[in-house]
Amino acid sequence: MSILRSLADRERVFDFLVPAQSPVDVRHGPILYLEDVSVSFDGFKAIDALDLTIDDGELRCIIGPNGAGKTTMMDIITGKTRPDSGSVWFGSRHDLLTLNEPEIASLGIGRKFQKPTVFEALTVFENLELAMAADKRVLPTLTARLTGEGRDRIEEVLATIGLVELRHGPAGILSHGQKQWLEIGMLLMQRPRLLLVDEPVAGMTEQEMERTAELLTGLAGKGKQSVVVVEHDMGFVRSIARTVTVLHQGSVLAEGSMDRVSNDPKVIEVYLGAEEEAA
């Protein structure tokens, strides 16, 4: 069955086929920079004078209680939400507040939501093929023959996400964790410079969590991607954390190593203490 005939909803194709990214200039600063960003919804200030800096090749964990502004922050970075004030830059050349969602994706910013959205009727290989970054119209992309370079890229990503042996199986039979890895692989096909990953281990087994930790730290460790992880599981955060940013009421409450923020009295009061009580 061809990819085109097997798609139940062809409109979803546009979510994955994005133009080749533009160069990101990080010679004089970070890869992502938010300064004094604020946004309100019906009088509620979801983001309040937020400052955040992500360095090139960094793995950053973002934690905080529900309503802290974590999702809104990612919505602003990806162009889904426009802030009322502030500035957001990708490298030193790209003002993200002047761009729409497809334009931001084309720069090399990929976002993975909590619930995996893979094409379950397609094989793992076909999902990655479909997600391959290309500045082409959709129909030619779906009907074109795969080049040797493209096939090599898919094999590279399959090895990275640990799904080599499942390449010819339908995505629908994958476990929850494997679907999460496949979706990360679909983003990697677009060669992003920045990955935003929302609660990647929710619902995973311990073994899947360990593999996810290896995957995310490996991506940032290669220096090809910067990775921002929003997560509630403190055990997982501790296993991957280099620098942790704690959000509260739309602002940065604390930032530093996991040991530093976990011992911060303010963080314990508004977040970690409540997490322990809930557990």
Structural domains of the chain, ranges and CATH numbers in brackets: 3-278 (3.40.50.300)
Please indicate whether residue 62 or residue 275 has the higher confidence score (pLDDT).
62
Residue 200's pLDDT is: 92
Other beta carbons within 10 angstroms of residue 123's beta carbon come to 19
Candidates 147, 202, 142, 194; CA nearest to 177 is 202
How many CA atoms does the CB half-sphere of 219 hold within 13 Å?
32
Q: Which two tokens stand for residue 43?
A: 């009088």
Other beta carbons within 10 angstroms of residue 144's beta carbon come to 12
Contacts of 235 (CB under 8 A, 6+ apart): none
pLDDT at 266 over 50: yes
Question: Helix 176-188 and helix 148-161: axis angle, to 10°?
Answer: 140
Cα separations in angstroms, 14 against 10, 105, 131, 134, 246: 8, 11, 10, 11, 34
Candidates 235, 182, 186, 245; CA nearest to 213 is 235
pLDDT of 23-61, one tens digit each? 788 877 799 999 999 999 998 999 999 999 999 999 999
- Mean pLDDT, to the nearest integer, of 199-213? 93
* Residue 267, Cβ density class (10 Å: 0-12 exposed, 13-18 middle, ≥19 buried): buried
Candidates 58, 27, 24, 21; CA nearest to 222 is 58
- Mean pLDDT, to the nearest integer, of 59-77? 95
The CA radius of gyration of the chain, in Å to the nearest whole number, is: 19
Other beta carbons within 10 angstroms of residue 139's beta carbon come to 11
What distance lies between CA 90 and its chain's CA centroid? 15
Place of tokens 């073994």: 207
Collapsed DSSP state (helix, strand, coil) of residue 77: helix
Residue 273's pLDDT is: 63
pTM: 0.85
Q: What proportion of the chain, given as a percentage, has pLDDT over 90?
A: 69
Candidates 166, 161, 162, 177; CA nearest to 125 is 166
Place of tokens 């087994």: 205
